[in-house]
């Protein structure tokens, strides 16, 4: 056949041997690896009788050699970076590569040969990030800017740095079908989506973030693949299994027959993003849907491999786990999975019920009481094995000595905003005063806070569920599935509400979700609130401890509570949060309101400051006790009692409106 080449096995072995040093630096053993002698290809197709590499437009078809365990490999001297290729199975149709580094025409098109060594990095001295002290900012590249690209997102990094963000969490960027998508329908797991830029755009974004002192972690989806453009089953039926349920499609085969190469595929993917893109860690989507009965859970194996891939850099690995398994962040040596953080849905759900007064759907098991807030801050999870009425079974695991920084708190995220009829944000559901008070709680709690893009300036744009599948059965099924999902909320189950649920494939769903950055200037007060609170969080020695075991709390009213942070030698902090009406707490039979011996409470900060859009500060502490304004948060510090020298009593410390500027 014209154009067909096949190197002899002996010659091929020598060529591969000559290029080992370069490939070891690359780390990835799957896909197309550029060497000094050409390009080495390797894929897993255990049931194929023949696998060829087809170079697009080159009239070159190269037969690969079969190795053990169903792998096929071969070095193609004619191939080089910049060329496009596909794999042809058994002389039939040709398909994009499972481990393609880039898909210029989308998931159905040819794969691009990319030389990762061609990009020049500028972050040699970047040490990486550890979990303590981080403030995470979740964003979706397609809607973060009007342009929806990595290059445009770079222009916004300085603004994030300025308010106090330390780590950017990028929603999934794996190649997906269509012009826009949340990213959780990814199918080309090794390819950064071409709609966001070229093959190096994500690298430039990470590089520029590091130059500004910002970390970047990537949201990855290893519990399912999207419904369109997934060619993995074409190469092997062992990638997926029906032995476990999965609400998003077939479950990944992590523990059944043929699962070894499957595990390797996903673990190498995690290492790939860390090694080749220099990301500072990963957010693992829905780890409760990782079904694995192996002696070593795949997440534990992944966490160990990812840290090895990072080398001397420190990375953070964070899990979304609806089941709230604390083993996600327990050490490998103790049978845990060795991750650094796990999302706390309980905190969000309590916030939502307290703010809106509604506990329907999956908010059914929350009351939004002050005690729930205190318990969340002190215990991280509210449900640690109790029966969960909504699911009809126990939920959660016991939290013991795990550090506060290992639990991620948020007022909202991509899911929780979109899982509503209108995709509106929390500040649009509550009074500005309550929103400011909740923001103070989030940013001063010892747990790791996460903000969703635009939250820092009270963005008016919704975040809706959007896809871009062509009209047809799949698009219709997704629309109907969205209606069914939202019907778990009785208010969204009515016929009128169901009719109002937008079609995810409608372009307007994507366009309306884009941020309007002019609001950052127009909403300067809420930006200042976030900036000042984050400055307090990192500069106040007591708050910055992030110690659950040094925080106590008490309920002081139907919608009011306090948190007391213990510092060294009586250097305490007192955070008062009142989400309800004015509270006259006189007398004050609560010992946590008493200042430490030899000290007095001194006013530090209030969410009512006019610079935040507040009505003005009325200090709660009076000569006769505590009168706490409604919808507000206040921070006090326990300073040395100088009343004997000044003639003032501790209760008469002068109020002021300093905002820690």
Residue 12 pLDDT more than 80? no
Cα 539 to Cα 533, 536, 569, distances in angstroms? 10, 5, 18
Per residue in 415-468, pLDDT tens? 999 999 999 999 999 999 999 999 999 999 999 999 999 999 999 999 999 999
Res 603 pLDDT > 90: yes
Strands (E), 355-443: 387-388, 393-394, 407-410
**CB neighbour burial string for 206-222, b if at least 16 within 10 angstroms, e if fewer:** bbbbbeeebbbbbbbbb
Q: Domain residues of the chain, as ranges?
A: 4-118, 136-419+442-520, 548-652
Nearest to 636 by CA among 582, 575, 580: 575
DSSP code, position 46: T
Q: Check pLDDT > 80 for residue 559.
A: yes
* Angle separating helix axes 345-356 and 432-444, nearest 10 degrees: 160
Strands 599-606 and 560-565: unpaired
Q: C-alpha dihedral over 442, 448, 452, 455, to 10 degrees?
A: 30
Rounded distance between C-alpha atoms, residue 102 and residue 82, angstroms: 10
Residue range 611-628, pLDDT digits in tens = 999 999 999 999 999 999
| CATH number at 548-652 | 2.60.40
Instruction: For domain 4-118, give the CATH number.
Output: 2.60.40.10
105 is catalytic: no
Catalytic residue among 52, 115, 285, 540: 285
The answer to whether the 4-118 and 548-652 domains have the same CATH topology is yes
> What is the share, in percent, of the chain residues with pLDDT greater than 70?
93
Which of 115, 280, 320, 340 is catalytic? The answer is: 320
Burial class of residue 572 in the structure, from the number of CB atoms within 10 Å of its CB (0-12 exposed, 13-18 middle, 19+ buried): buried
Asked whether residue 295 carries a pLDDT value surpassing 90, the answer given is yes
Average pLDDT taken over every residue of the chain: 93
Topology of the domain comprising 136-419+442-520 = TIM Barrel (3.20.20)
pLDDT value of position 248 = 82
Inter-residue contact 42 to 111 (CB < 8 Å): no
pLDDT digits (tens, 9 = 90+) for 227-242: 999 999 999 999 999 9
How far apart CA 497 and CA 202 sit, in angstroms, is: 39
**Structural Rg of the chain based on CA atoms:** 27
- Contact of 94 with 54, CB cutoff 8 Å: yes
What's 268-331 look like in SS3?
HHHHHHHHHCCCCEEEECCHHHCCCCCCCCHHHHHHHHHHHHHCCCECEEEECCCCCCHHHHCC
Q: What is the pLDDT of residues 62-102, one digit of tens each?
A: 999 999 999 999 999 999 999 999 999 999 999 999 999 99
Q: What's the DSSP call for residue 427?
A: G
Per-residue pLDDT, 642: 67
Known catalytic membership, residue 532: no
Could you write out the three-class secondary structure of 56-94? Answer: CCCCEEEECEECHHHEEEEEECCCCCCCEEEEEECCCCE
Contact 65, 9 (CB under 8 A): yes
User: pLDDT tens digits, residue range 569-586?
Assistant: 899 999 999 999 999 999
Q: How far apart are CA 347 and CA 399, in angstroms?
A: 14
- Rounded Cα distance between 529 and 423, Å, is 24
- Determine how β-strand 71-76 pairs with β-strand 65-66: antiparallel
* CA geometry: angle 229, 416, 553, nearest 5 deg: 140
pLDDT category of residue 641 using cuts at 50, 70 and 90: confident
Per-residue confidence band for 7, with pLDDT thresholds at 50, 70 and 90: very low
Is the per-residue pLDDT at 352 higher than 80?
yes
Task: Report d(CA 290, CA 656) in Å as an integer.
Answer: 52
Q: Which two tokens stand for residue 14?
A: 């020598």
pLDDT of 376 above 90: yes
Asked whether the whole model's pTM tops 0.85, one would answer: yes
Q: Are strands 341-343 and 599-606 parallel, antiparallel or unpaired?
A: unpaired
Q: What pLDDT is recorded for position 202? A: 98
């Amino acid at each position: 056949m014209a154009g067909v080449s096949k190197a002899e096995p002996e010659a091929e072995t020598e060529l591969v041997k000559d290029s080992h040093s370069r490939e070891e630096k690359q780390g990835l053993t799957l896909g197309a690896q550029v060497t000094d002698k050409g390009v080495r290809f390797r894929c897993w197709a255990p049931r194929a009788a023949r696998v060829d590499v087809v170079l697009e437009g080159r009239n070159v078809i190269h037969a690969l050699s079969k190795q053990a365990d169903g792998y096929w490999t071969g070095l193609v001297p004619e191939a080089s970076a910049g060329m496009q290729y596909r794999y042809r199975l058994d002389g039939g149709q040709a398909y994009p590569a499972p481990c393609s580094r880039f898909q210029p025409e989308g998931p159905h098109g040819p794969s691009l040969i990319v030389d990762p060594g061609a990009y020049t990095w500028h972050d040699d001295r970047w040490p990486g990030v550890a979990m303590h002290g981080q403030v995470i900012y979740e964003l979706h590249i397609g809607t973060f800017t009007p342009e929806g690209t990595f290059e445009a997102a770079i222009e916004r990094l300085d603004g994030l740095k300025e308010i106090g963000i330390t780590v950017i969490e990028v929603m999934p960027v794996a190649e997906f079908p269509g012009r826009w998508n949340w990213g959780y329908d990814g199918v080309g797991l090794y390819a950064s989506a071409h709609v966001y830029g070229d093959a190096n755009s994500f690298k430039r974004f990470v590089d520029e973030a590091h130059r500004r002192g910002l970390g970047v972690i990537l949201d990855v989806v290893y519990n399912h693949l999207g419904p369109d453009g997934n060619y993995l089953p074409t190469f092997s039926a062992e990638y997926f299994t029906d032995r476990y349920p999965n609400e998003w499609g077939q479950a990944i085969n992590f523990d059944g027959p043929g699962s070894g190469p499957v595990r390797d595929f996903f673990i190498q993917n995690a290492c790939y993003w860390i090694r080749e893109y220099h990301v500072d860690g990963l957010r693992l989507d829905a780890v409760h849907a990782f079904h694995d009965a192996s002696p070593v859970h795949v997440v534990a194996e992944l966490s160990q491999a990812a840290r090895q891939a990072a080398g001397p850099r420190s990375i953070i690995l964070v899990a979304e786990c609806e089941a709230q398994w604390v083993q996600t962040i327990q050490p490998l040596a103790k049978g845990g999975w060795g991750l650094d953080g796990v999302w706390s849905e309980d905190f969000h759900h309590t916030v939502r019920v307290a703010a809106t007064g509604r506990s329907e759907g999956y908010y059914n098991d929350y009351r939004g009481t002050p005690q729930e807030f205190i318990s969340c801050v002190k215990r991280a999870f509210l449900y640690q094995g109790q029966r969960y009425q909504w699911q009809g079974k126990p939920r959660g695991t016991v939290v013991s000595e795990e550090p506060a920084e290992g639990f991620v708190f948020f007022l909202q995220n991509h899911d929780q905003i979109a899982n509503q009829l209108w995709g509106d944000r929390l500040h649009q559901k509550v009074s500005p005063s309550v929103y400011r008070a909740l923001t103070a709680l989030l940013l001063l709690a010892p747990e790791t806070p996460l903000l969703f893009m635009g939250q820092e300036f009270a963005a008016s744009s919704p975040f809706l569920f959007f896809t871009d599948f062509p009209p047809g059965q799949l698009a219709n099924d997704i629309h109907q599935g969205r209606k069914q999902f939202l019907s778990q909320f009785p208010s969204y189950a009515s016929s009128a509400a169901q009719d109002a649920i937008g079609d995810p494939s409608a372009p307007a769903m994507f366009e309306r979700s884009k941020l309007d950055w002019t609001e950052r200037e127009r909403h300067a007060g809420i930006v200042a609130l976030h900036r000042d609170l984050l400055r307090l969080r990192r500069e106040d020695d007591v708050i910055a401890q992030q110690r659950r075991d040094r925080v106590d709390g008490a309920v002081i009213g139907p919608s009011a509570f306090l948190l007391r942070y213990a510092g060294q030698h009586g250097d305490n902090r007192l955070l008062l949060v009142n989400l309800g009406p004015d509270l006259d707490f006189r007398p004050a039979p609560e010992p946590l309101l008493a200042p430490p011996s030899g000290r007095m409470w001194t006013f530090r900060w209030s969410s009512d400051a006019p610079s935040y859009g507040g009505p003005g500060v009325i200090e709660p502490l009076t000569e006769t006790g505590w009168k706490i304004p409604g919808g507000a948060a206040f921070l006090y510090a326990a300073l040395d009692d100088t009343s004997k020298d000044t003639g003032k009593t501790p209760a008469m410390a002068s109020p002021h409106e300093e905002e820690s500027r």
